[in-house]
Structure 1
Amino acid sequence: MSERARRFFAFWRANGTAAIVRLVRTKLAAMVAGEPVLNEIRPQSKLSVDVTELVLRKFPNIQPLPTYLTPRPKLGRVSLITDSIGKGSLFGGVGTALIFAAQVANRTSSTLRIVVRTEAPVPKNVAQVLDAYGIKLDHEVQFSFVPVRKSDGPSASEALASLDIFPGELFITTSWWTTAAALPSVPRASIFYLLQEDERMFYPFGEERAQCERVLRTQDIRFIVNTRLLYEHLIDSGLDHLRKKGRWFEPAFPRSLFHERTRELAGKKRFFFYARPNNPRNLFLLGLAVIDRAVNEGVLDLDQWEVLLVGKDIPGVTLGNGNNPQRCEELDWQAYADLVGTIDLGLSLMYTPHPSYPPLDLAASGAVVVTNKFGNKKELFDYSRNIICADLDVESLVQALREGVALANDMETRRRNYSANTLGTDWSRAFNETFDLFTSNV
């Protein structure tokens, strides 16, 4: 690629399509006036790179979304911006984002558009999630693929990918980087940032964390926060503008999906470990160490318990004297819910303030589950008394598993706790307290 072309693409990535249009108009006017059109290209060292290029190499996914304005149609539109709706991405936060966006679209009598950045959309995956939760859209769903442009210049498909927007459209972003990409490209009053974790905790103190912090401190967008625990943590951590600009909701676990399943009466009890070795905050190795200790000490008697590792990218491991636990990966929504409904005891770790979904999924399905404390996440009895929180060390977690085994075997107490769960079961009601943000002028 020539130096002039490289600079053109760097300018486009940094400033967007609208700036390119203005630049072309300026150059055409100069041509008509007989003035020089192209700036002199001075030789540069092959090792030197301009600042814009360096930033884009480090953070390609925060470059402005390429957009162009179209007239407003009769129906409004809600655009959800996310990385992927691939099969492996749909659990937890992305699933919640789809459900939330569908609810907003129906509440505002709008069409829903799903904008993805890292891989082409697969519409059937969205249908699977919405069908699993019994959610029907009142209007059509649209899909757009606007890939993140690479630092060596866009491919032909990337160069052609721009997003049409119109006045009054609403945009739901799903991470600090999708929010950063939207901020220079759409009206800030139209952005609703669905915040489902303290995303600063994804990174060590450095460039990524600083960029994330900058977005979280944005004062003129609105925030929808997953759980009161996370909302209170974020405010306590210095994001005081969320008091005015944010609302929180508690997730829902419809009984049609999350409930106890029939199992063999004479079979082994089932133990679930949430295993995601490539997600550091899920503490995969610590969890394995806890389970191995529990097996070796007889807390989990493998003659009575079947151990299941549930997640993604799980390596083969052995426990105790050579037991190989079953690995359950790439489950769809229904298969995951069916599995969770057969579990007696679970261990699910999350080294952040959010309770995470697996402990709540398990409790909503009749299981006992052990998880860890963190900050203001000291106990989760407000959701279910079948959730046991422990300090984050092997001894405390093994002791919590010992208590969990006793509770899982005490069917009377376990079922009484299950009946007293306060977990929501209706997603439309879950979001009720957030919808005033879509009509307010805060």
Structure 2
Amino acid sequence: MKYHLKSFLKTKIKQFICTKKPNFSCGSKASLDVKKNQAFLGIEETIQEVKALDYKHTNGSKTRLNLVVPTLTKQHVFGGLSTAFDFFKQLSGTFSDDIDKRILVMDTDLHDIHDAFKDYSIVLLGEESTKTNQIVCCKNRSQTKKLPVTQQDIFIVTSWWTAYVIQDLLRSYQSKRLQLIYLIQDYEPGFYAWSSRYALADSTYHTSLPTIAVFNTYDLYDNFKLHNYEFFKEFVFHPKMNPNLKKYLPQINTVAKTKKIIIYGRPSTDRNAFLNIVETLRLWVKSYGSAFQWEIVSLGEKHPAVYLNDTISIKSEGKVSLQEYAEHLLTSSIGISLMVSPHPSYPPLEMAYFGVKTITNNYQNKDVSTYHENITSFTDYSPINLAHNLQNLCESFEQNSLSQGKPLNLTFIDDTPTFPFLKELKNQLTEI
């Protein structure tokens, strides 16, 4: 049976509406009818993720590093969240052994926690604990469940809503000794249309609180400078290939490339422009007589097969293991990965460094082709333009004229530290 993207998206929309129903109180019949219609339409009356986290002042002499994250579940610990944990671990290592660590989980319950945190103790919100390594679930926060905070707490926020909640807490606490580190890994207002969430996300970049901003890539940092954002102190790090993926790199000289196209397919993440990729492939199938000889694999998020015509489809494998991912990178000759944001994202870089001819996009100041000669980065990434260039790459591969490019930025695969500024950052914390 063929599953189509339209029915898949219908199901997702239905699920969204059902899970977003607010709780309504009883009133007049007319009022009740309005509220029933609101419930049916899924109208929101609050932005739940920015619900306040109340605190209670406690005494403490030890520095405590707090990492504030949406979740700790295994299925979500990858990409930006994995980078956040790595940063947290390495920064805590620059302090003496006499330091406490606490992870605040804002959005989910503590189930199926990633193995990396098995040495942490789960502490109830509101409980005053002397445990060195703590995990606190803040999902069901309320005025009766208050987070213990001391003068020695340092907070690392990892998304706009975790930043919003902690900034609100720190404004109330009013201590010059509290420090805030904002790990910025994308321009997050862009995750939404012009809206309340857009405005709240943007507001976290304008806080009057002394904030140390840490940017993932110079592309992103330069974009913030382009739009005149300023922070108390700013640090930037280069993207790095996952070490467990990098160990497969030597095999690019021994594994043959095949007629396989890999795409970074995430239908539920708008900035990855899944529909642009699908339409590109549809146009390519119509115009390229040899398209039936090629395999098309979608990686990133599991979705139904997408049929480009009666016989050719995009096969989705979703999120795969690093070994399986490496095998796809080693055997694929062409890749498509789009990112409608200032961050270059990791998939097009991983593709290119594994010898995959990669189609991606520019965005304002971002030009991903500066990383590797295997990358072609388009300002015009309309399906018509991308399909034309995809066909050229396929024809070159079939004619054995698809030459391998060279890396232009070796920091992605070298052994230099990911966060070379940690000692300076730590010293800055003690000076505020």
Q: TM-score category by the smaller chain?
A: 0.7 to 0.9
How do 1:16-415 and structure 2 match up within 5 A?
Answer: 57-72=45-60, 74=62, 76-109=63-96, 110-122=99-111, 125=114, 127=116, 141-149=133-141, 161-186=145-170, 189-219=178-208, 220-239=210-229, 241-242=230-231, 244-258=232-246, 259-260=248-249, 261=251, 268-298=258-288, 301-303=291-293, 305-333=294-322, 335-377=324-366, 379-390=367-378, 391-405=380-394, 414-415=403-404
What CA distance in whole angstroms lies between the structure 1 residues aligned with 2:191 and 2:326?
A: 27
What CA distance in whole angstroms lies between the structure 1 residues aligned with 2:301 and 2:57?
A: 40
Change (3 A) 1:410 1:255: farther
What CA distance in whole angstroms lies between the structure 2 residues aligned with 1:348 and 1:211?
A: 29
How far off its partner does 1:97 sit? 0.9
- Please tell me whether the aligned partners of residues 273 and 309 of structure 1 are also in contact (alpha carbons under 8 angstroms): yes
Report SS of the residue matched to 2:148.
strand
What CA distance in whole angstroms lies between the structure 2 residues aligned with 1:126 and 1:289?
A: 40
What CA distance in whole angstroms lies between the structure 2 residues aligned with 1:300 and 1:435?
A: 56
How far off its partner does 1:231 sit? 0.9
Change (3 A) 1:172 1:414: farther
Cα deviations by residue, 1:284-341 (Å, 9 ceiling, x for unpaired): 11110101222222287331x2210112242331123422332112434554445444
What CA distance in whole angstroms lies between the structure 2 residues aligned with 1:414 and 1:387?
A: 12
What CA distance in whole angstroms lies between the structure 1 residues aligned with 2:117 and 2:328?
A: 17
Mind listing any 5+ residue stretches in structure 2 that lack a counterpart?
Answer: 1-25, 33-43, 119-130
Report SS of the residue matched to 2:317.
strand
Cα deviations by residue, 1:384-434 (Å, 9 ceiling, x for unpaired): 11111012211221233245446767989754515x552433687121136
Cα deviations by residue, 1:320-368 (Å, 9 ceiling, x for unpaired): 3422332112434554445444432210111111111211222233322
Question: RMSD of aligned C-alpha atoms?
Answer: 3.4
Change (3 A) 1:123 1:168: farther
What CA distance in whole angstroms lies between the structure 2 residues aligned with 1:267 and 1:302?
A: 17
Percent identity of paired positions between Structure 1 and Structure 2 = 25
The amino acid that maps onto 1:102 is K
- Please tell me whether the aligned partners of residues 306 and 315 of structure 2 are also in contact (alpha carbons under 8 angstroms): no
Mind listing any 5+ residue stretches in structure 1 that lack a counterpart?
Answer: 1-43, 49-55, 130-138
- Please tell me whether the aligned partners of residues 384 and 423 of structure 1 are also in contact (alpha carbons under 8 angstroms): no
Cα deviations by residue, 1:258-288 (Å, 9 ceiling, x for unpaired): 3345799688432111111111111111110
What CA distance in whole angstroms lies between the structure 1 residues aligned with 2:146 and 2:184?
A: 25
Change (3 A) 1:424 1:308: same
Report SS of the residue matched to 1:322.
coil
Report SS of the residue matched to 1:432.
coil
Change (3 A) 1:112 1:330: farther
Change (3 A) 1:61 1:148: farther
The amino acid that maps onto 1:284 is F
* Worse-matched range after superposition: 222-231 or 319-328: 319-328
- Please tell me whether the aligned partners of residues 266 and 301 of structure 2 are also in contact (alpha carbons under 8 angstroms): yes
The amino acid that maps onto 2:66 is S
The amino acid that maps onto 2:333 is D
How far off its partner does 1:144 sit? 1.8
Change (3 A) 1:172 1:325: same
TM-score (norm 1): 0.73
How far off its partner does 1:369 sit? 1.3
Report the structure number with the largest CA radius of gyration.
1
- Please tell me whether the aligned partners of residues 266 and 274 of structure 2 are also in contact (alpha carbons under 8 angstroms): yes
Report SS of the residue matched to 1:431.
coil
- Please tell me whether the aligned partners of residues 74 and 112 of structure 2 are also in contact (alpha carbons under 8 angstroms): no
- Please tell me whether the aligned partners of residues 200 and 209 of structure 1 are also in contact (alpha carbons under 8 angstroms): yes
The amino acid that maps onto 1:295 is V
- Please tell me whether the aligned partners of residues 67 and 162 of structure 1 are also in contact (alpha carbons under 8 angstroms): yes
What CA distance in whole angstroms lies between the structure 2 residues aligned with 1:280 and 1:163?
A: 35
Change (3 A) 1:254 1:118: closer
* 1:10 matched residue in structure 2: none
How far off its partner does 1:245 sit? 2.5
- Please tell me whether the aligned partners of residues 297 and 315 of structure 2 are also in contact (alpha carbons under 8 angstroms): yes
* 2:122 matched residue in structure 1: none
- Please tell me whether the aligned partners of residues 383 and 423 of structure 1 are also in contact (alpha carbons under 8 angstroms): no
- Please tell me whether the aligned partners of residues 294 and 401 of structure 1 are also in contact (alpha carbons under 8 angstroms): yes
* 1:424 matched residue in structure 2: 412
The amino acid that maps onto 2:278 is L
* Worse-matched range after superposition: 293-302 or 177-186: 293-302
What CA distance in whole angstroms lies between the structure 1 residues aligned with 2:219 and 2:404?
A: 26
How far off its partner does 1:172 sit? 0.9
- Please tell me whether the aligned partners of residues 194 and 224 of structure 1 are also in contact (alpha carbons under 8 angstroms): yes
What CA distance in whole angstroms lies between the structure 2 residues aligned with 1:284 and 1:399?
A: 18
What CA distance in whole angstroms lies between the structure 2 residues aligned with 1:78 and 1:218?
A: 21
Cα deviations by residue, 1:135-154 (Å, 9 ceiling, x for unpaired): xxxx97532211055xxxx6
Change (3 A) 1:300 1:62: farther
How far off its partner does 1:170 sit? 1.9
How far off its partner does 1:73 sit? 5.5
Change (3 A) 1:262 1:225: closer
